[in-house]
Amino acid sequence: MSTVPLRTPRALLVAALGLGLLVWLVAGTVTAGPAAAANLPPSEERDLARLFRAELKPLGLKVSRGLLQHLETYEADAKGTHLALYVEPVDRDYSSAEYVENFTTLTRMFVPKVFERWKGLESFDICQEPYADPRESPPPVTQIFLTRSALDRVGSWRKAELPELLAASPRVRSVSAGYYVYFSPTVRTDPAFIEAAKNAGWLTRSGPDDR
């Protein structure tokens, strides 16, 4: 009759340590995916809309489109490092003055927050679009584009006023510049924009970009 040898305390300790290491390795494998994904925001429009709904609602805005993409190709990709966010008014009474005012509010709301929250994000832009525009890609009414490397363009994004945001931007939209702002001709006649452009040294008749 064979007997099963009793394990010594040392053998039991080694076995326990081995089991603990195995559990740690398995747990690390399981959590590695979500941990890596946390470096980028959601890539699905519905998830982005849900994520920012509470912040945008008081401004009379909602997410109309949103995605992660490759900045070089503008192709959508769940692992892309550029977050493109598009918002539109929830009703038709949203005025030119609100477009201009909320441009600064949105900038303060998202910059530099998106870069601090998602370390894998390299660039970001947010556009205010026309109300209920049926086109697949409506032209923006306002836009701010920014790369992580250009965060030093403005002293304090959370406190910046419109003249400072304008003054820090080139006149023509260019991704290579790392930072630019855009206002469509439909809102450049707003008194608040005209005053800010004057203080920033912009030519108010043309604004940041006539395209």
Number of structural domains found in the chain: 2
Query: Is pLDDT of 6 > 70?
Result: no
CATH (domain of 173): 3.10.310
Percent above pLDDT 70 for the chain:
78
Q: What value does the mean pLDDT of the chain take?
A: 84
Query: Is pLDDT of 138 > 50?
Result: yes
Query: Is pLDDT of 52 > 90?
Result: yes
CA distance 28 to 197: 53
In this structure, are 86 and 106 located in the same domain?
Answer: yes
Q: Are strands 82-89 and 123-128 parallel, antiparallel or unpaired?
A: parallel
Q: Which domain holds residue 159?
A: 45-200
In this structure, are 27 and 82 located in the same domain?
Answer: no
Helix/strand/coil for 183: strand
In a domain, 206, yes or no: no
Longest CA–CA span in the chain (Å) reads: 102
Closest by Cα among 152, 143, 101, 99 to 125: 143
In a domain, 209, yes or no: no
Are the beta carbons of 208 and 182 closer than 8 angstroms?
A: yes
In this structure, are 25 and 92 located in the same domain?
Answer: no
In a domain, 175, yes or no: yes
In this structure, are 21 and 110 located in the same domain?
Answer: no
Which own/partner contact pairs does 108-117 have at CB distance under 8 Å and 24+ positions apart?
108/157, 108/158, 108/159, 108/160, 109/55, 110/85, 111/144, 111/146, 111/151, 111/157, 112/151, 112/157, 112/158, 114/41, 114/83, 115/148, 115/151, 117/41
1: CB partners within 8 A, 6+ apart? none
In this structure, are 51 and 145 located in the same domain?
Answer: yes
Looking up tokens 């406190």 gives 159
In this structure, are 106 and 189 located in the same domain?
Answer: yes
Amino acid found at 37: A
Is the pTM above the cut of 0.85? no
In this structure, are 61 and 121 located in the same domain?
Answer: yes
The string of pLDDT tens digits covering residues 166-202 is 999 998 888 999 999 999 999 999 999 999 999 999 8
In this structure, are 54 and 99 located in the same domain?
Answer: yes
